[in-house]
Each structure stands twice: as structure tokens, then as C-alpha cells.
């Protein structure tokens, strides 16, 4: 696949197809990130579109100093934060994990409940901790990339991530679940 910066240059020279290639390349990453921030499919779809509209609108201002991916995540982080602030007071319900229509063993059921608990715990973490965990653990961004996406220092990312993971571990152990050996 073509280099992001080359695609951006092509778009700035009038090739609209180049920016569509960029959207296609990152749409699943951005959707996954905003879904984990909202826990709602429809909201995630709308926000994903909003992120790309903002990105295409602002692409001429992208200075190519950081990677396009990090810049895109930064837009996604800000869009998610603004969305959460607009909807503050409204607790988006965590969608139930899909229960397959088959007999479930007791250990499977316990594992599923524990995962639901972890997901719920993640949704209730302070915003910055949640973003740090989602970007690091789910999206696989490095500390540096996460810091650029969140607009803070690497030290701050490490602190947010560490405190968030610590809190999630407390939630699981307080509920009486054990981690897999």
C-alpha cells in the first residue's frame, strides 16, 4: 500500500481518490477505537465518519511532522472526548456480549462474566486512563504515538495507563474473580 505522505501529496494536487485510499486504510482502526470509547455501534459509525470528515477538511494543515496515523488518532481522541462531554449525564449502556446459542460450561460462563466486568470497568475509568488503555492495548500504539494522539507527555501516558490497569485489576479481584493461570 502506498505511503501515507505520498497519498496526501497526491490529494493536495487534486487527486480525490488518494484521500479515499487513506480513509479505507484507517477506517477499521478508527471505528474500533471510537466503538471502545462509546460502546455503541451507531454512535461509533457516526463518529468514525465525523473523524474522517474532519481529517479530510484539515489535511492541508497536516505538517507531516508526525505520522498520519497518529494525527488521525488525535482527531479521533478529541472527537470522542467532545462527544462524551456533549452527552455527559447519559450513561451509554454496555452492549451485552453475544451469548452463543449453545450450552455453556460453568468455566466459560465465569470467563464471560469476568470479561464483561472488565469491559464495564474500562467504560467507567476516568477518560484519560481509558483512552491510554484503548490506544496502547487495543490499537497497539507505542507510548510515543499515544502521547502524540493524546496531546500529552509519554510520562503522562505511562501514568494514565498504569493507573487504569491497576484499577481494572482491583475491580476484577474485588468481584472475586481470578486471573487465568
Which residues of the chain form contacts with another protein (CB under 8 A)? 16, 19-21, 23-24, 27-28, 31-32, 35-36, 41, 44-45, 48-49, 52-53, 55-57, 95, 97, 114-115, 118-119, 122, 133, 136-138, 140, 142-143, 158, 162, 165, 168-169, 172, 179-181
Nearest to 127 by CA among 44, 45, 41, 37: 37
Indicate the length of the chain as a whole number: 181
Nearest to 69 by CA among 53, 49, 55, 50: 55
Q: How far is the CB of 24 from another protein (least distance, A)?
A: 5
Is the distance from CB of 26 to CB of 139 less than 8 angstroms? Answer: no
Residue with Cβ nearer another protein (20 or 127)? 20
Q: How far is the CB of 68 from another protein (least distance, A)?
A: 15
Q: How far is the CB of 100 from another protein (least distance, A)?
A: 13
Element (H, E) at 119: helix 106-124
Q: How far is the CB of 90 from another protein (least distance, A)?
A: 20
Burial track 73-112 (b if 16+ CB lie within 10 A, e otherwise): bbbbbebbeebeeeeeeeeeeeeeeeeeeeeeeeeeeeeb
Residue with Cβ nearer another protein (21 or 66)? 21
Residue with Cβ nearer another protein (27 or 78)? 27
Amino acid at each position: 500500500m502506498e505511503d501515507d505522505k505520498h497519498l496526501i501529496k497526491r490529494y493536495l494536487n487534486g487527486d480525490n481518490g488518494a484521500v479515499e485510499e487513506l480513509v479505507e486504510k484507517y477506517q477499521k482502526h478508527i471505528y474500533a477505537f471510537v466503538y471502545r470509547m462509546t460502546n455503541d455501534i451507531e454512535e461509533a459509525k457516526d463518529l468514525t465518519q465525523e473523524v474522517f470528515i474532519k481529517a479530510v477538511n484539515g489535511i492541508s494543515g497536516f505538517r507531516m511532522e508526525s505520522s498520519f496515523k497518529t494525527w488521525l488518532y488525535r482527531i479521533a481522541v478529541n472527537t470522542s472526548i467532545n462527544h462524551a462531554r456533549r452527552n455527559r449525564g447519559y450513561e451509554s449502556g454496555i452492549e451485552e456480549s453475544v451469548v452463543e446459542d449453545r450450552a455453556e460450561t460453568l468455566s466459560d460462563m465465569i470467563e464471560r462474566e469476568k470479561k464483561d466486568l472488565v469491559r464495564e470497568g474500562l467504560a467507567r475509568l476516568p477518560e484519560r486512563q481509558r483512552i491510554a488503555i484503548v490506544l496502547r492495548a487495543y490499537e497497539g500504539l507505542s507510548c510515543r504515538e499515544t502521547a502524540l494522539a493524546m496531546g500529552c507527555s509519554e510520562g503522562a501516558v505511562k501514568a494514565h495507563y498504569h493507573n487504569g490497569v491497576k484499577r481494572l485489576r482491583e475491580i476484577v479481584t474485588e468481584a472475586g474473580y481470578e486471573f487465568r493461570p
